[in-house]
Structure 1
Amino acid sequence: MDVPLRECGWLGHGIGEPGCPQGLVTMARWVLRFVLLATAVGLFTLSVAATVAGDVGVAVFTVVGVAIVGAVIWRMGWSKVRGASREWTASSKPVDRGQAVGDRSDIHSTLESLDAQVAEVLEQTVALDSTIRRVQSSVRSESQRNQERIEQSERKVVQRLRAHHRQLLEAEEESSSRRDDSDALRSVRQRIARQMTQSSRDTVRQVEALLRLSDVIKHPRAPLPSTGGFAIDAGALLHLVHVVSSIKPKRILELGSGTSTIWLGYLCEELGSDLISVDHDEYYLEKTRADVERHGLSGSVDLRLAPLQAVEVAGDDFRWYSLSAFEDVGKIDLLIVDGPPESTGDDARYPAVPLLSRVLSECAVVVLDDAHRDAEQRTLKRWAAEGPYRHVDAAVSRLGVLAKGETL
């Protein structure tokens, strides 16, 4: 007797029971194959994703999984798929209950075979999963080791770069030091060159001044003392001779004796003037006295010793000549200040004009030696500001000249 499809096991009867058509077994096989096919597709998709992500190990073993699942499907046989299709077509037709009962043993056998195949697939899947885990662990370990190697290499590169940077800095500092040394050497050379040029010009000027001075004293009675050094130089001496010749003073007061004393002695002898020369150092005073006597100028030159003593001028303390040396001095037309030495104190020559103003004539001229120095420049400015003096003959020589009225 034929049994309709609605009365088979999947509609109320168990598989293999009488009345279940053979097509139901075929459908179970289709379901299993579909599951295996879906598993293969999933593994293949995972393989593609792992490849894109750069995880080569996972990609390789997912491909292996795909191959195993494909092998299982192949083992079940493509021919069975075609047979199952025919069986499904046949199973859609009513069968008799006797045929269903006869096929019961075949159904059980088929199910057992399917269970064995599923178990085998599961075992292979578990083994594959274990292998994948081992590979992942190995990949992670290798990745960690590679990361450590990369970090170690980076540290070495950084250390080398830092060492190279230090070497560059040291080389730059050394180069800068060499440039500084070179610049300093160049500066020294330039300064020496300027000094040599200036010295050459000064030498030429001094020689020219000496040649002009040779006409001032045409017949000296003894060798004239040398100029320059601590003594007055030729250019300043020529300037002094010009001042004396211009104003023709009746009386000259010189503070600090020496070479200029002899030249002034000859000029005073010619003009009929008097020269008073004062010095604080007895040794140098006696040397000057010997030169005066050698030239026969004792009648025109009055040499006086005036030791330095403490004085107060404009609220400041100085060491200056003893005032007793000037008690009998009459009106002075020309005051020559060449002492005391600057070593005796700041602005050591300033007291001359304030302390001697009472003996300076109305047309007196004041001459200050070494006016190129800062202290003497300050002294000249103070004298000009405190008295009726004006600067004349500026920058002619190292002499600073102040005059009252229109004397010069």
Structure 2
Amino acid sequence: MQNGFVEIILGCSRELSMNQLQSIAKAVLPSQVQKVLLAPHRDFVFDRAMKRFLSNPDACKQPRNPVLIDLIYGWGNKGWSALDEYLAACIEHALTSNGPILECGSGLSTLLLGAIAQKQGRSHWALEHTPEWATRVQHYLNRYQLDAVVLCSTPLKDYGDFCWYEAPLASMPDSFSLVICDGPPGATKGGRYGLVPIMSDRLKSGCVILLDDAEREQERTIAARWQAELGASFETLGPNKPFIEMTLH
């Protein structure tokens, strides 16, 4: 039965929708086998959606956009990928900001925002502490020739009260106009707080910070600390999976 499903995947991935294939897989296969056998379909859907995004990023700045839905499905990092409403907010701000972008953590958003930065002649810096994950992201950056992205595979460093990325400050831009903060993991000492004490002198007036996972009390507490330390304002957005949008004055 599993061999037969492989033939279905390879032969029909262009005709069947993702929901149809997932329904078939769930009906007949164990979860781990599903993951392996759906890979060809995910890759096809992702490549098709990525090409559509590259041709017109501006069309993908609203939640529930079918291209974003396909990108999330094709990327396949279930449970960790940002939801489409957060990705849409990241895209919208990337399209309207006017300087380098900083991303804490890397993934699908790195590709999408890197593509926008490249079209606009800007740079996108992404910090990633997991070498294996950085290798995967870099593979896709190379695949789509997204040379505007500087992906820094760097460990987390203990700064005393918190741990944060060991950022290559000497080679980074003097100021950033947009920060996408989806890392480090919440279990890290201090969570994501380290962004401000390490990078505050490079966050210029008008800089926007998009902090994901605002349903967690830790993120809300961090946002309140940042607000006090930066003299910023913020609001919580995203009805399905809240995130914080903070603006420096």
Q: Normalised by the size of structure 2, how large is the TM-score?
A: 0.67
Instruction: Please name the residue that 1:159 is paired with.
Output: none
Of the candidates 340, 353, 362, which is equivalent to residue 205 of structure 2?
362
Q: Which is higher, the Rg of structure 1 or of structure 2?
A: 1
Deviation of residue 228 (structure 1)?
5.0
Query: Which structure shows the bigger proportion of residues in strand conformation?
Result: 2
Deviations 1:97-138 (A, max 9, x none): xxxxxxxxxxxxxxxxxxxxxxxxxxxxxxxxxxxxxxxxxx
Instruction: Please name the residue that 1:24 is paired with.
Output: none
Deviation of residue 274 (structure 1)?
0.7
Instruction: Please name the residue that 1:301 is paired with.
Output: 149
Deviation of residue 282 (structure 1)?
0.6
Q: Distance in 2 between matches of 1:389 and 1:228?
A: 33
Structure 2, unaligned runs of 5 or more: 1-61
Deviation of residue 295 (structure 1)?
1.3
What residue identity is the alignment partner of 1:363?
G
Percent identical among aligned pairs is: 26
Residues 254 and 400 of structure 1, relative CA distance in 2, 3 Å threshold = same
SS in 2 for 1:342: coil
Of the candidates 241, 245, 268, which is equivalent to residue 95 of structure 2?
245
Q: Normalised by the size of structure 1, how large is the TM-score?
A: 0.42
Instruction: Please name the residue that 2:81 is paired with.
Output: 231
Query: Which structure shows the bigger proportion of residues in helix conformation?
Result: 1
Residues 251 and 208 of structure 1, relative CA distance in 2, 3 Å threshold = closer
Residues 228 and 389 of structure 1, relative CA distance in 2, 3 Å threshold = farther
Deviation of residue 227 (structure 1)?
6.4
Deviation of residue 326 (structure 1)?
2.2
Q: Distance in 2 between matches of 1:268 and 1:224?
A: 22
Q: Distance in 1 between matches of 2:181 and 2:208?
A: 11
Deviations 1:193-230 (A, max 9, x none): xxxxxxxxxxxxxx96232648xx9xx9xx96346521
Q: Distance in 1 between matches of 2:163 and 2:196?
A: 15
Deviation of residue 239 (structure 1)?
1.6
Deviations 1:226-245 (A, max 9, x none): 46521111121112112222
Deviation of residue 265 (structure 1)?
1.4
Structure 1, unaligned runs of 5 or more: 1-206
Residues 233 and 227 of structure 1, relative CA distance in 2, 3 Å threshold = farther
Q: Distance in 2 between matches of 1:344 and 1:208?
A: 30
Q: Distance in 2 between matches of 1:257 and 1:403?
A: 22
Q: Does 1:286 align with 2:135?
A: yes
Deviation of residue 402 (structure 1)?
0.5
Contact kept, 8 Å, 1:338 with 1:369, in 2: the verdict is yes
What residue identity is the alignment partner of 1:341?
P
